[in-house]
Amino acid sequence: MIRRIDLRTDPGTDPGGPAEGAVQSAVPRAEFDVDAAVEVVRPICEDVRERGEPAVAEYSARFDGVEQTDLAVPRAALTEALAALDPAVRAGLEESIRRLRATCAAELESDVVTDLGPGARVTHRLVPMQRVGLYVPGGIAPLVSSVLMNVVPAQVAGVGSIALTSSPQKAHGGLPHPTILAACELLGVEEVYAVGGAQAIAMFAYGAGPCRPVDLVTGPGNIYTVAAKRLLKSVVGIDSEAGPTEIAILADETAEASFVAADLISQSEHDPMAGSVLVTPSERLAEETEAELDKQVSLTRHAERIRTSLGGRQSAIVLVDDLEQGLEVVNGYAAEHLEIQTADPERWAARVRNAGAVFVGPFTPVSLGDYCAGSNHVLPTAGCACHSSGLSVRSFLKAVHVVSYTREALDEVAHHVVALAEAEDLPGHGAAVRARFAPTGAPDEPTA
C-alpha cells in the first residue's frame, strides 16, 4: 500500500552513500502540484474579479452543486446552529478556544522602542490588520476546528472586521455545515459567507456582492484554494500556503508501530492528495508499520481516500542509515507536521529546522494539535515550511517603524546621510537634511 524509499548505504555497491542532494529531496510531492492548480483557478479568479457575485454563484453551482441567491449566511442560521449544537462538541470547542486564547495572548508581542541617542527614537509598532477574510475548508469534511484556528488569533490580535467563508453544502440548503456556523456564533463572528474554493479567495481579494475586499486572507484548503491564494497574493495578503495535509514521522527502534500507523492514517484521512511519510533506520519498525497500516486502514470509515493518499507518490516509508541521516531527510522535506518518536525525542526536536509544527514523543500525536493542544493547525505545506510559519496572532499584525528625531538628534547624523546620499548619486536626499540647518533659507552644512 505504501512504497519504500531506501537511502541506506550499501558499502559493497555504494561506498560513498547517496548522491549529493538525494537525501534532502528524497520524498517527492504529489504530481498535481500548486503551480499546476494555479492554471486551473486563474480563469475562475479573473471571472470573479470581472463579474463579482454572479460569477461566484456560477462556480458554486458548478463545483458544489448549489443554486445560490445570497452569498451571505443569514444571522438566524448562526443562532439556530448554536442552539442545536451537540453539547459534547460545544464542550470540545470551548476547551480548544480556551487553550488557543491562552497561547495567543502569551504570544502577543508588544511594541519595541529603541532609543539610539538623545532625541533619536525608533518604535516598532504592531498594528492589527483592519479587515481579514478567514477560509474554513468544507468540501471533504466540515473542519469546524479551522474556524477556531483562524478566528481566535485574529480576535486576540485586535482585528476590527472579520469575515469568514466555507463551502456551501447541498445537504444543508446551500449553507456551510451547521457545526461551522455554530462555531462562528460561539466566537461572535457575524459576517459569514457560503462560498468555497478559489472563488472564495477571489471574493475576499476583489470583493463580490455583499462581501467587501479584505486586506488579508488566511486559512487552509485544498489544492485549488491554496492555488488561488498563491495567484492572488499580490492583490491581498495571505498567511502561508496551507494546502493538502502532510505528516512526516522520524522514528527509531523504540517507536510503537501501531501509533506510527495510526498517525499516518489520521492525516491521510484528510485528502487523497495528503502525504504521509515515515523516516526510520529501523527495518523492524518499517515492517510492523506496513502490517499495521494494512490492518488499521481497512477498519477506518474513509478507507478509500486513505489508500489513495498512502499509495500516492507523495507517501513513503524512507529507510535511512541512522537518525542523523533521517534528520537530514525531514529537514529537506519540510513537512507541515513532523512527529518525533525516538528515544530522547526532545534532543532531535531541538535540531529540526524545517517543519510547520513539531510533535514531540509518543503522546503528542498530530491529531491532538489538530484540535486541542493550544497550538495552531493552519500550517505551511509543500515545502513552504522552509520559509513560512503557521498561523498565529502574529499573522494578523503588521509592524510599522515609527521614527522620531529631534533637531539635535538629526544634526548628529546629518553628515552621514549627506555622505551616503552622495554615494548613491541622490543629492536631493542630502539636501532635504541640509535644508533643516539653513537659518536664512539657503541650505548650509549641518554642524556635526
- Residues recognised as catalytic: 336-337
Site string for ligand NAD, 45-64 (x = CB under 6 A): ------------------xx
Chain position whose Cβ is nearest to Zn ion: 370
Tell whether residue 126 is a contact of ligand HSO (CB under 6 A): no
d(CA 152, CA 186): 11
d(CA 305, CA 448): 72
Pick the piece of the chain touching ligand HSO (CB under 6 A) from 75-83, 97-105, 143-151, 301-309.
143-151
CB 104 within 8 A of CB 119: no
User: Has 314 been labeled as part of a binding site?
Assistant: no
| CA distances to 95, 265, 315, 344, 369 from 262, in Å | 24, 5, 15, 21, 15
97 CB neighbour count, 10 Å cutoff: 19
Residue 90 identity (one-letter amino acid): R
Question: Residue 200: is it exposed, middle or buried by C-beta count within 10 angstroms (0-12/13-18/19+)?
Answer: buried
Question: Residue 122: is it exposed, middle or buried by C-beta count within 10 angstroms (0-12/13-18/19+)?
Answer: middle
User: Has 387 been labeled as part of a binding site?
Assistant: no
Tell whether residue 369 is a contact of ligand NAD (CB under 6 A): no
Tell whether residue 175 is a contact of ligand NAD (CB under 6 A): no
| CA distances to 92, 249, 282, 410, 422 from 242, in Å | 24, 19, 31, 45, 46
Cβ closest to ligand HSO, residue 202 vs residue 334: 334
Q: How far is the CB of 66 from ligand NAD (least distance, A)?
A: 9
- Binding site partner of 167, from ligand NAD, Zn ion, ligand HSO, none, Cβ cut-off 5-8 A by kind: ligand NAD
d(CA 36, CA 30): 11
Tell whether residue 224 is a contact of ligand NAD (CB under 6 A): yes
Q: How far is the CB of 274 from Zn ion (least distance, A)?
A: 9
Who's near 360: CB < 8 A, 6+ residues apart? 340, 345, 346, 349
Pick the piece of the chain touching ligand NAD (CB under 6 A) from 83-91, 100-108, 194-202, 413-421.
194-202
Nine-digit cell string for 439: 537659518
Cβ closest to Zn ion, residue 371 vs residue 405: 371
Site string for ligand NAD, 320-359 (x = CB under 6 A): ----------------x-----------------------
Tell whether residue 274 is a contact of ligand NAD (CB under 6 A): yes
Contacting Zn ion (CB under 5 A), which of 370, 385, 421, 430?
A: 370
CA dihedral sign, ordered 264, 265, 271, 272: positive
Cβ closest to Zn ion, residue 134 vs residue 286: 134
Which residues are near ligand NAD by CB under 6 A?
40, 63-64, 137-140, 143, 146, 167, 196-198, 220-222, 224-225, 242-245, 270-271, 274, 336, 377-379, 381
Which residues are near ligand HSO by CB under 6 A?
143, 145-146, 245, 267, 270, 336, 370, 377, 379
